[in-house]
Structure 1
Amino acid sequence: MKIKYFLHRLKLGLHNKWWLLNYKFRELLIQLQFYWLLYQGSQLLNINQKSVIVFSPHQDDEALGCGGMIALKREQGIPIKVVFVTDGGGSHRGHTKITRSEIVQIRREEALAALKILGVESTDIHFLDKCDGALSKMTETEQQQTIEEIVQLLGSFQPQEVYVTHKQDRSLDHEITYQLVKAAIAKAEVTVELWQYAIWLLWKSLLFSNLKFDELVGAHRVAIHQVQSKKKQAIETYRSQYLPIDAESSAVLPPGFLWRFFLPYEIFFKSDSGQE
């Protein structure tokens, strides 16, 4: 009986060690692929004078994914508008002491403060206030209404570049935001350069299992050394996301998530024109 117990414990221990080694190896691969993409697998992209609309599913995605680009362009006086698609109210779903409407207000205030650091005035910030976490549940009518709102923004501002979360960003709200923006660009019949920024795609994900080779070839990096501190300060404005909102809560963003966004480069993926 003791021998069987010993063999069982030995087998269990070996299994756990193998799992841990496999986990650590995967983590190492993910970090290596990220650094490869950042420094070797992407083309250098210089900041130009083109006007921009940034579409952000939630209040923090814009600072994480392209805060450096925003700050660089604003320092040169280039027009930029930022559009938040959802209200951000789903980040603390189920919290017993803070209501959804309170979370919405907190995140809105954080967004205004973060974008002020990056050089974007409140008059250039738009909130579509769609239900956070529910873009995939919109009816056809709601989808078309949202697309029409985006069409109106594109038509009034006439941007030369559009930035939006990656079409395979491993978050339904992020991926559907891409689809909505893509459909709006086609409907508005505007000619823009469409760039995708990744938030979750590069987190605990093996790129080659998610992206085709030609998509990886379309990766570009923007050097943001001179505005790195501004971007970090803007990200740190979103305290509700990376710190516990009270003593009973844990942080929304997982441990180790933010370091990639504090580096001196940002990664963007070139999309085909909006007329796919």
Structure 2
Amino acid sequence: MDAVTVPISGPGNREADWDRSGWLRALPAQDAATLLADVRRLVVVSPHPDDEVLGCAGLMQAALGHDIDVHVVSVTDGEACYTDQPLWPAARLRDARRRELADAMRLLGMDATHVTTLGLPDGAVAAHEADLAAHLAAHLVPGDLLMAPWTHDAHPDHDAAGRAALAAAASRGIAVLQYPVWAWHWLDPYAATPPWPAAARVPLCAASRSRKQQALEAFATQTGSVAGLACAPILPDHITARFRRPFEVVIG
């Protein structure tokens, strides 16, 4: 997540508000098997280590369960999340978050062969958007389904990664879906209509939810479960609650 800008400020929405959201409840359900029909490979674009788990760990597990290859493109190393913490400089965070990503992928049933790490600068993906789009386009093949952050998630890296993914998918004729992460922080749960013209809830079974939670807990630097962090973590419990739901939302 990292390098957050307005409107991502303060505690954001409570999960209790999302529990009462009429438009969220009204989103149609779409089972993963139907969503993944005719897909040969699921390619997940993740702006920072943890976004792939937050946004679509359940869908990745479903793909693996249907013998569909899964590949994660980790755009940045998330090294800029604690710029005011002297015990957690960028180099240390970069190493830690790569290890955390490897641990999380292992918990979801994947290994290093399932991940490409690009190492673009955290907080500055927009400056490299064209390069990212070109990289994705060069590696997409027929039968891929591309998953990327919502282009209006309100985090600059998420928005830029989403735009790059859409451009790459369009250039290659590849299907693309988007996932929200920070949008749950600031969207109006009580709005009269959904913020997306097309979106669906993808149900998660109990085992998938459990593995997703274990994978999320692997990102100790983000949940605050590390020594020497003298500030609130990026992912306190009230934020991770948004990703313990029995479903994930896909847009498109």
- TM value normalised by structure 2: 0.83
1:242 aligns with 2:223: yes
Residue 15 of structure 1: aligned partner: none
Aligned equivalent of 2:54, options 61, 64, 78: 64
Residue 87 of structure 1: aligned partner: 77
Higher helix proportion:
1
SS at match of 1:206: coil
- Greater CA deviation, 142-151 or 100-109? 142-151
- Counterpart CA distance in 1 for 2:49 and 2:16 is 30
Aligned equivalent of 1:267, options 235, 238, 249: 249
Contact 2:169 2:176 in 1 (8 A): no
- Counterpart CA distance in 1 for 2:47 and 2:15 is 29
Q: How many residues align?
A: 236
- CA 231–176 in structure 1, closer or farther in 2 if over 3 Å, else same: same
The Cα shift of 1:124 comes to 1.8
The Cα shift of 1:205 comes to 2.3
Residue 204 of structure 2: aligned partner: 224
Question: How far does the alpha carbon of each residue in 1:115-136 deviate from its partner, in whole angstroms, 9 at most, with x for none?
Answer: 1111222112001111001123
Contact 2:76 2:118 in 1 (8 A): yes
Partner amino acid, structure 1, of 2:18: Q
- Name the % identity: 23
1:74 aligns with 2:57: no
The Cα shift of 1:169 comes to 0.5
Residue 127 of structure 1: aligned partner: 117
- Counterpart CA distance in 2 for 1:151 and 1:185 is 7
Task: Give structure 2 stretches of 5+ with no counterpart.
Answer: 1-9
- Counterpart CA distance in 2 for 1:117 and 1:178 is 26
- TM value normalised by structure 1: 0.77
- Counterpart CA distance in 1 for 2:148 and 2:15 is 28
The structure with the largest alpha-carbon Rg is: 1
1:145 aligns with 2:108: no
SS at match of 2:210: helix
- Counterpart CA distance in 2 for 1:124 and 1:98 is 27
- CA 213–31 in structure 1, closer or farther in 2 if over 3 Å, else same: closer
Aligned equivalent of 2:100, options 88, 97, 110: 110
Partner amino acid, structure 2, of 1:241: Q
- Counterpart CA distance in 1 for 2:189 and 2:162 is 19
Aligned equivalent of 1:252, options 230, 234, 251: 234
Aligned equivalent of 1:186, options 142, 152, 170: 170
- CA 159–113 in structure 1, closer or farther in 2 if over 3 Å, else same: farther
